[in-house]
Amino acid sequence: MPLWQPGTGRARMRRVGREDVIAMSEKRLRKLVDRYRVTSGKGFRLKDHDPADTGGPLVNHAESEAMLADGVRRLADLQELLYPQDQWALLCVFQAMDAAGKDGTIKHVMSGVNPQGVFVASFKQPGPEDLSHDFLWRVSRELPQRGQIGVFNRSHYEEVLVVRVHPELLTRQHLPPALTGKKVWKQRLEDIASYEQYLSRQGFVILKFFLHLSREEQKRRFLERLETPDKNWKFSAADLAERDHWDEYMTAYEEAIAGTAAPYAPWFVVPADHKWFTRVVVVEAMIAALEDLNLHVPDVTAEQREKLAAAKRALEAEKG
Ligand code: ATP
Ligand code: MG
């Protein structure tokens, strides 16, 4: 049960009662998640989404820390139900430009869950073995098992993002030239959409997060990395080079989201200029998806109950 109470004030809380406050909170959090969910590519434009958005009246900065802490707890509780049920797997894909906060978001949001039920995969540049296979090969190897939460830090989407912005990467993929014509990006998006549909039919709940950072905020964060000794290690000259391709990346993201947004594999275009806000939206989106599964502790059959009773009798009969 959420412990977080919206900023309704103590007096009002007494009047409406704790259960009502919880219901109001849940409604508000659902609205927040709905606001950033994209389930169809029809008319999708990135410019309609503001990276500096902080949810209007739905959240305020002062309460965000308590909301996140509460979200982390509720996510942990839901994971405890996902695991024994052993049917569904939750797959969370994180994509973003450098310094958008992928790592920090994953770290904070997943901080409460049982590590045994989580599987995190970071997709870097593919190696020779990866390149001698189809591009989804390495993705399939990193999928979570049923009952687990899988986190993809970058993903198969790099194949229609960085590879599209740097077509020389495509030439390293050993593809027959006849298959790398102009249509290749559209075809890859179709293939990704079909793959995700297949996974959804196998019991994967897929959530895709695009942490939407503005170019100005990225500059500010890069400068902070350069100016703060403790953050120097985070800076990479390669990230600066990618920044020069900003517009090409935005076009590639827009087409990727438009081409693969579906009810069974929604995108969340999460404003990323304010880290506190990004984290709240991500944790609540994960909670909403798990709540929709109506998870419960597995039922005990009559036969199992009989075995449990026998085990209890055996233990009680032990001497000493
Ligand atoms: P951080 O910088 O916070 O450690 P990161 O995800 O940026 O996280 P890096 O090791 O800096 O990690 O970068 C990984 C690189 O691998 C990115 O530049 C990404 O574009 C690249 N990459 C990932 N998948 C592919 C792919 N399929 N083809 C080519 N490059 C890829
Ligand atoms: Mg990097």
Nearest CA to ligand 1 atom 31: 125
* Inside any domain, residue 152: yes
Chain mean position to CA 127: 25
- Is there a domain that residue 187 lies in? yes
DSSP 44: -
Residues lining ligand 1, judged by CB closer than 6 Å?
A: 98, 103, 123-126, 153-154, 158-159, 162-163, 169, 236
Instruction: Compute, in angstroms, the gap from residue 294 CA to the centroid of ligand 1.
Output: 36
Residue-range definition of the domain harbouring residue 254: 26-317
Residue 31: pLDDT above 70?
A: yes
Q: Which ligand is nearest to the CA of 122?
A: 1
Output the residue whose Cα is nearest ligand 1's atom 20: 162
Instruction: Kindly list the distances between the CA atom of residue 78 and the CA atoms of 149, 205, 228, 292, 296, in Å, as whole numbers in the listed order.
Output: 11, 14, 38, 11, 9
Q: Do 92 and 154 form a contact (C-beta atoms < 8 A)?
A: no
pLDDT in tens, 68-83: 999 999 999 999 999 9
CATH number, domain of 82, equals 3.40.50.300
CA angle 295, 298, 302 (to 5 degrees): 150
Closest alpha carbon to 2 in 67, 61, 90: 67
**DSSP-derived secondary structure letter, 262:** B
When pLDDT is cut at 50, 70 and 90, the band that residue 297 belongs to is confident
Q: Is residue 11 part of a domain?
A: no
| 7 falls within a domain | no
List the structure tokens of 166.
Answer: 């740097």
With beta carbons less than 8 A apart as the criterion, state whether 253 and 264 touch.
Answer: no
User: Are 314 and 137 a contacting pair, CB within 8 Å?
Assistant: no
Measured distance between the N- and C-terminal CA atoms of the chain, rounded to whole angstroms: 41
pTM: 0.92
Number of domains in the chain: 1
Of 141, 142, 158, the residue with max ligand 1 atoms within 8 A of its CB, to mutate for a pocket test, comes to 158
Backbone angles phi, psi at 97, to 5 degrees: -75, 165
Minimum-distance ligand 1 atom for the alpha carbon of 166: 29
Mean pLDDT, the chain, rounded, equals: 93
Å from CA of 237 to ligand 2 middle: 10
